[in-house]
Chains A and B, each alone.
Chain A
Amino acid sequence: MTVDDIMRTDKGPALMLANEAIVRGALESDVKVVSCYPGSPTAEVLDAFSEVLQHFGDYKMHIAANEKVALETIAGASMAGLRSFSSMKSVGMNVASDAMFSIAYTGLKAGCLCLVADDPHAHSSQTEQDGRWYGEPAYVPVIEPSTAQEAYDMTKWAFEVSEKYKTLVMMRTTTRVNHQRGMVKLGELRRTPFKKNKWADVRAPYFTVGATARALKAKLLKKIEGLKVEFEESNFNWVDEAEGKIGIIADGVSYLHSREAMQNLGVKLPLLKIGTIYPLPEKKIAAFLKRLDTVIIVEELTPYLELHVTAIAKDANPKVRIVGKRSGDFSEMLEYNVPIVETVIAKILKKPLSLDYDAVLKRAEGLKSILPERNPIFCAGCPHRGTLWAFRQALSRLRIRDKIVYNNDIGCYSMAYLSPNNFSDSMLSMGSSVGLSAGMELALEDKVIATVGDSTLYHAALPGIVNLIHHNSNVTLFVLDNAVTAMTGQQYNPNSPLNAGELPAKKIDMEKMFEALGADKVTVIDPYHTRDCVKPIMDAIQTKGFSVIISRRECALYGDRLRKERNEPIVPSVNDKSACRSIYNCVREFYCPAITVDELDHKMLIQTDLCDGCLECRQVCPTSAPAHVDGTTTR
């Protein structure tokens, strides 16, 4: 990622990822406090803010322990009179939402924007979730861009709206907007020095319960009336004009798909683009419906726009035919693309498609029958590979492989669910492995095992752990401590001695914490000494009470970065074919991407340019055949 266009101070065009454009927009708005927890598809927002933090030196930033803390942090900064920003993925808002509902009631002071990114298709999320619905029940305004340019423009606008109405503003995006690169017309970047306020100068009450809450609710409803007028007049809702009685309403990336679908079909239909999701521009929608006899609603996931349009149509134009999900034309599943949208528009217009997409897909499907699957997999050198291998060995030796329940959690280690491990009984949400374990331990005769990474541990697992210890639960917890929040790009977390902008931070002492909480056994293992891990894991599993196994070795990608900084070469391994007996421990149940089989002699063959030199394959090899290419093998 290049942050040059974020740092330049002049105006002009730039090719930017929407996530980068949002960062630029916030910096142009003189944002002063940033707090985020990384989550795809928003991680690049955090990364960019972190990368330019020291360059600007005029804003403060936390990589927060979780999204609720992040949202509270920016709300606190706003109450204290500083503009603030957070970004989080869809499910992150679930964690933060408890605070968000109250923040809407109390209101805020300085401009405060929270980016929330949904992930239709669940590319990198546990669910497909439609965050547009958060606005109305919480009474928090929600806006949604389609392009990088609009993401930038809306970011700047959001700070103004937030300050004018003293409210949190939520900007909702989807993966295809966050990870879209496009041209952005930048404004000048004029930052002011960072300066703390005095509470006496900015003070206001931010307290809500009972009678106060009821009074605040009445004020909040008035605020929303004001926002309705504001959004009704907003330039972010517009009509691409065309003749005809058939029109389209769309938001987000669906707006872009709709335009291209029409271009492909050689038609122009009036297209109402919605940029303010809550409150919706109801009058604009009503006026649009009045001129139509058919309206096609193009939106991913739930029928949010469709239900509101249906309600508006009841008065505006009850006879209008509404084509959407409830009519069976569009699906609530997955993300859309041009062929999906073109197919529905073509059907309504009774026109042939510009291309027989089904035939193209069918032909491709036939051609691809020879293709091997390429599922997500642990990287070469990943310490989790060794931990899981040792764990399976321990279970076999204890003869309890079918007498355990294994609750997995959110992180790279979620992939224990995939081949070759095929090994996970549950995975719900951040920290859920420990909560589920409490219930399962009450209800099952089996040994209950939970797994979290270091970032998940501090994010949402701690209350569940306290609960397990307090209730004398008989559970073994694996903490896969790889030093960083690996899956989203190796960000720092409370387990790191650094934080945003590589600035120093206090690393939480994990062993001390577990001991202080009263864990019955705390064991630390090194998964690179894979063989030596088996016995301690067996001991921990057999310990009565709450036992913790901390499997500690830094993420391979992070480790590579550190080695590069230290100018240390990565020494790959080679398989000594004279020692190799084709037992394939290194292949079966191991799945290292650097490992192949030589078809000539059927011995294992390491692709040295992919190998990280971790030697885990040597550790699992009964004849210790793999070794470092330069003879420096030490384990």
Chain B
Amino acid sequence: MPAGLSDKCPCACRRHYDEVIRVKDTYNIMFCGVGGQGLMLLSAILGKAAVDSGMEVMTGEQHGLSQRSGSIYVHFRVGKPLSPLIPYGRADLIIAMEPNEALRYIEYLKDGGVVIMSSRVMPPPGETGAVAGDKERKTKYVKVDEIVQKIKTVTNKVVLLDSLQLAVKAGNPRAENSVLVGAACACPDFPIPGEAVRKAVLALVPKKTVEANSKAFDLGKESGGSCLGT
């Protein structure tokens, strides 16, 4: 067992952890969202938490064109990763900051994997153009329920969070990231100790927002736990 895992972890994932390591070397997370949502911070938080827990990490990140509002992703692999890209059908977890984007990368999810997603749809301008351009007003935006319904043909473990509202409740609308990683820690087979994740969150967010992010993390974990029954 990698070092650092002997810490007592209050999060529900802890009781399943030993079993996970036995059956599987690498845990694969697909982060996705819309450019500007802070996906890289999310990846950095889990990266730090994993490394601080003595685990190995390899990622395949999408940098480059700096424009916001495009579709973006990070392949995040923890355990004994051999390569940077998750093969199709092998992600244990998708963390989506936007529902369309969860579905856009659905080929990466294994059957029965977990999808944690923000419920806030951010319509791409092309879709808005189509909605506005339909004089009969029959063209509608894709709704989050339709997306969830599609995803449920691959897995029934869908955690739909109003992460923005939870972040606001925690005291900072920009703490959505922390809500989502909090929820990830409630996954039964999530390999990184929850306390290490919380520490990484607090170490990497702006100092002024530490309290709100800590609360956002707890709210996310709570909501994730009740959805997944952990």
Contacts and interface: CB of A to CB of B under 8 A. Distances in A.
A256 B68 contact: no
Interface residues of B, number: 62
B60 A15 contact: no
B103 to A, nearest CB: 6
Interface stretch (B7-15, B78-86, B180-188, B215-223): B78-86
Interface in A407-426: 412, 415, 419-420
Contact of A181 (B59, B64, B140, B150): B59
13 contacts: A43-B64, A147-B58, A181-B47, A259-B82, A260-B82, A339-B88, A342-B87, A371-B142, A374-B71, A379-B68, A489-B66, A591-B126, A595-B128
Interface in A300-359: 337-339, 342, 355, 357
Of B64, B82, B153, B173, which is in contact with the most chain A CB atoms at under 10 Å from its CB? B64
A263 B82 contact: yes
Contact of A593 (B57, B66, B125, B132): B125
A372 B84 contact: no
Interface in A466-492: 486-490
Nearest to A591: B125
A529 interface: no
Contact of B122 (A124, A357, A582, A607): A607
A597 interface: yes
A535 to B, nearest CB: 27
Interface of A: 1-2, 13, 15, 17, 40-41, 43-44, 123-124, 147, 175-176, 179-183, 253, 256-257, 259-260, 263-264, 337-339, 342, 355, 357, 360-361, 363-365, 367-368, 370-380, 382, 412, 415, 419-420, 486-490, 557, 582, 584, 587-588, 590-593, 595-597, 599, 602, 604, 607, 609-610
Contact of A371 (B61, B103, B140): B103
B67 A180 contact: no
Given A591-B126, A592-B125, A376 B107 contact: no
B158 to A, nearest CB: 13
B54 to A, nearest CB: 10
B85 A368 contact: no
A360 B69 contact: no
Contact of B124 (A181, A372, A604, A610): A372
B87 A370 contact: no
A241 B61 CA distance: 30
B131 to A, nearest CB: 5
Nearest to A415: B67
Contacts of B56: 183
Contacts of B207: none
Nearest to A259: B82
Interface string B26-41: 0000000010100010
B63 A596 contact: no
Given A43-B63, A355-B89, A368-B103, A183 B122 contact: no
Given A15-B48, A44-B63, A367-B153, 5 more contacts: A180-B84, A181-B57, A367-B151, A372-B142, A376-B70
Contacts of B59: 180-182
Contacts of B58: 147, 180-182
B124 A375 contact: yes
A383 B68 CA distance: 14
Interface of B: 34, 36, 40, 43-44, 47-48, 51, 56-71, 81-85, 87-90, 100-101, 103-104, 106-107, 122-133, 137, 140-142, 146-147, 150-151, 153-154, 173
Contact of A373 (B48, B124, B140, B173): B124
Contacts of B65: 40, 124, 376, 412, 487-488
Contact of B68 (A1, A263, A593, A599): A593
B80 to A, nearest CB: 10
Given A44-B63, A364-B107, A587 B51 contact: no
Contacts of B124: 372-375, 377, 593
B93 to A, nearest CB: 16
A368 B106 contact: yes
Nearest to B153: A367
Contacts of B57: 15, 181-183
B83 A338 contact: yes
Given A43-B64, A361-B88, A593-B68, A256 B82 contact: yes
A374 B104 contact: yes
Chain B CB count within 10 A is highest, among A367, A376, A582, for: A367
Contacts of A370: 103, 142, 146-147, 150
Contacts of B48: 15
A337 B85 contact: yes
* Best-surrounded residue of A2, A337, A582 (most CB of chain B within 10 A): A337
B87 A357 contact: yes
- 9 closest residue pairs by CB, A with B: A40-B64, A364-B107, A256-B83, A591-B125, A593-B69, A372-B127, A124-B64, A181-B59, A338-B87
A376 to B, nearest CB: 5
A447 to B, nearest CB: 28
B154 A367 contact: yes
A176 B133 contact: no
B71 A180 contact: no
Contacts of B128: 587, 591, 595-597
Contacts of B127: 372
Contacts of B100: 371-372, 374
A95 to B, nearest CB: 19
A264 B66 contact: no
B82 A183 contact: no
A593 B47 CA distance: 30
Contact of A2 (B44, B68, B82, B137): B44
Given A256-B83, A338-B87, A372-B100, A364 B106 contact: yes
Contact of A372 (B85, B89, B126, B133): B126
A355 B110 CA distance: 10
Contacts of A378: 67
B104 A371 contact: yes
A13 to B, nearest CB: 8
Among A338, A372, A419, A604, find the residue whose CB has the most chain B CB atoms closer than 10 A.
A372
Contact of A41 (B47, B63, B106, B141): B63
Given A420-B129, A596-B128, A337 B87 contact: yes
Contacts of A371: 100, 103-104, 142
Contacts of B146: 370
B90 A355 contact: yes
A179 B63 contact: yes
Contact of A597 (B47, B107, B131): B131
Nearest to B106: A364
Contacts of B51: 13, 15, 183
A567 to B, nearest CB: 13
B111 to A, nearest CB: 9
A384 to B, nearest CB: 10
Given A180-B59, A597-B132, A15 B47 contact: yes
- Give the residue among B68, B141, B153 with the most A Cβ atoms within 10 A: B68
